[in-house]
Amino acid sequence: MKRYEFLLFDADGTLLDFDRCEEKALRDTLRHYKIPADAKTVHLYHQINAALWEQFNCGEIDRPYLLHRRFEQLCEQLGRQDDPAQMNHYYMQQLSCHADLLEDAADVCNVLFKKYKLYIITNGASLTQHGRFSVCPLTPLFQNLFISEDMGVQKPQKAYFDAVAAAIPGFAPDRALVIGDSLSSDILGANQAGLDCCWYNPQAAEKPASISCTYEIRRLRQLLEILR
């Protein structure tokens, strides 16, 4: 088994339960603006937001456009006249308060912390990610937090991983492993940067042949078996 030293963890969907955090923040926002926080409205937002994030990960749109457009489009489809910029700001303030962990995240990171240098690599917005990691119990286990908005470049661009590598003392690409749930962001980015990667795939989704994974796991705890 290859010996690793640097473990680069995606945050949302890998360690943090973004779905639960997002649900809390979104429902708080809808209620604040007196919009029914029912399943139909929540589903509509998720559809809009997911499509925009895919465009962002592909480099088709920038972050300011994404953050503004998701609530602008939601208001358009709901026939609302609310200010999408203010709505997004309120939402992100709510989101920054939540750092719910996925199953096994705490146990796995506490074990790996003893033998490896752990880092966070995330495309999340700076305001929300700094806020969430200020209250996240895992934060003391990580050497650094690399937020794409702070760095001016995002996953899966090779420039993002180059910037991360340059910021880590003694970084060696052949001793680094990227761990993430997103094929289009984490795994494709690792491929383009020439780094080994572990795809966290709890839903057993299919992988296109154009993307390669060094490892694939269904549960985060399986990472301990790989790194044993």
Q: Is 10 a catalytic residue?
A: yes
The pLDDT value recorded for residue 56 is 85
* Angle of the 84-95 helix axis to the 18-32 helix axis, nearest 10: 130
Q: Is 1 contained in some domain?
A: no
Q: Are residues 28 and 74 in the same domain?
A: yes
Mean pLDDT over residues 6-11, rounded? Answer: 98
With H, G, I as helix, E, B as strand and everything else as coil, classify residue 51: helix
Question: Strands of 196-200's sheet, edge to edge?
Answer: 144-147, 117-122, 6-9, 176-180, 196-200, 215-217
Mean pLDDT over residues 37-51, rounded? Answer: 95
Q: Are residues 64 and 161 in the same domain?
A: no
Q: Are residues 80 and 164 in the same domain?
A: no
Domain end, chosen from 95, 124, 149, is at: 95
Q: Are residues 122 and 179 in the same domain?
A: yes
112 vs 124, residue with greater confidence = 112
CATH code assigned at 29: 1.10.150.240
Q: Are residues 12 and 41 in the same domain?
A: no
Domain end, chosen from 95, 110, 130, is at: 95
Residue 12 scores a pLDDT above 80:
yes
Residue 200 scores a pLDDT above 80:
yes
Q: Are residues 77 and 111 in the same domain?
A: no
Q: Is 73 contained in some domain?
A: yes
Q: How many CA atoms lie within 13 A of 162 on its CB side?
A: 6
Q: What are phi and psi of 160, to 5 degrees?
A: -65, -50
Mean pLDDT over residues 161-186, rounded? Answer: 97
* CB atoms closer than 10 angstroms to residue 89: 15
Indicate the pLDDT class of residue 21, thresholds 50, 70 and 90: very high
Annotated catalytic residue, options 10, 28, 181, 186: 10
- Domain extent, residue 91, equals 19-95
Domain end, chosen from 41, 61, 95, is at: 95
Q: How many domains does the chain have?
A: 2
One-letter amino acid for residue 184 of the chain? S
With H, G, I as helix, E, B as strand and everything else as coil, classify residue 61: coil
CATH code assigned at 198: 3.40.50.1000
